[in-house]
Amino acid sequence: MTMSTHAGYVALLGRPNVGKSTLLNRLIAHKISITSPKPQTTRHTILGIRTVENTQIVYVDTPGLHRNARRAMNRYMNRAAAGVLSYVDVVVMLIEALRWTEEDQAVLERLREFAGPVILAVNKVDRITTKSQLLPFLQSLDGKRNFAGIVPLSARTGVNVDMLERLTAGLLPEGEFLFAPDQITTASERFLAAELIREKLTRQLRQELPYALTVEIETFQEQERMLHIGAVIWVERPSQKGIVIGDQGAVLKEVGRQARQDMERLLQRKVFLETWVKVREGWSDDERALRSFGYQDEL
């Protein structure tokens, strides 16, 4: 007698900077979603596929939901995050241990219309110094919604992530696998390469500049067993161009070195990477510019 298979989509939802991308990478044991300590690092929905025996969980990493979406980029990210609720089977709502903010409450309000099960994942428990505070905090969350489960965990260290996976797997509908069992994402190699460059820039640059830049892959071709990648880093003002390049090209050189190493690890071949910095004024508040840079509403 053959075992029935279970498969479904699981959204990772929450306010900015609660650790959704770190959790996705931990769950599928591959780095496909970029991370940084700065909020709004994730701008697109990204699928991470985890297949274990007769179960396939398709995790959907989403941009952080924010309440005041003034710029076109922020509105796009809110649409991308909220749009997944129309097709996912389960939602994992992430919050930070010992913190419940107005933005968390706003995410919960958006989930009112979602009829499926919602698991509350309480992340960053590894940062709690006084462990006795955790239980009262978890109890205080119980009445906020009829959650399918509340799981305290650490995406960074992996504590209790297996518990979240078991709980999620048990809530999936019966059905055929949605993707090949060995597939880990639907994201293209071009997309992943651009995201890795943006991650390094976000980590290297101070203050607001990461929000004013995006990366576009212009060339992506295999030549003599080496992948040649040409990338344009777009900024919004001429003054930002110099900051991205750095003194005698130092910042851009270091960003390129780190991104190339990550690309070789992820794509499993040698990479030759070239980068240029160009200016397109006000691109992040221009709907047409966003579309031309690949910020589309569909997954």
- Tens of pLDDT along the chain (299 residues) come to 467 999 999 999 999 889 999 999 999 998 888 787 777 777 788 999 999 999 999 999 888 876 766 778 888 788 887 789 999 999 999 999 999 999 999 999 999 989 999 999 999 999 998 889 999 999 999 889 999 999 999 999 999 999 999 999 999 999 999 999 999 999 999 999 999 999 999 888 866 676 789 999 999 999 888 999 999 999 999 999 999 999 999 999 999 999 999 999 989 999 999 999 999 998 888 888 888 888 876 54
Return all residues near 291 (Cβ < 8 A) that are at least 6 apart: none
282 — alpha (psi -120 to 50), left (phi > 0) or beta? left
What is the pLDDT, as a whole number, of residue 207? 66
Contact in structure between 295 and 44 (CB atoms under 8 Å): yes
DSSP-derived pairing of the beta strands 214-223 and 118-123: unpaired
Q: Is residue 193 within 8 Å of 229, Cβ to Cβ?
A: yes
At residue 38, the pLDDT reads 75
d(CA 241, CA 236): 8
Helices (H), the chain: 20-28, 72-83, 102-110, 134-141, 161-169, 189-204, 238-245, 250-267, 287-292
- pTM strictly above 0.75: yes
Give me the amino acid identity at 190: R
pLDDT of residue 299: 41
Angle formed by the axes of helices 238-245 and 250-267, nearest 10°: 70
Crossing angle between the packed helical segments 161-169 and 20-28, to the nearest 10 degrees:
80
The residues, any chain, with a CB within 8 Å of residue 134's CB and separated by 6 or more, are 97, 98, 125, 128, 152
Q: What is the pLDDT of residue 297?
A: 61
User: How far is Cα 100 from Cα 78, in angstroms, rounded to an integer?
Assistant: 20
Give alpha helix (H) positions in 9-144: 20-28, 72-83, 102-110, 134-141
Place of tokens 């851009």: 252
DSSP run (H or E) holding 273: strand 270-279
* Domains of the chain (ranges, CATH numbers): 6-169 (3.40.50.300), 189-292 (3.30.300.20)
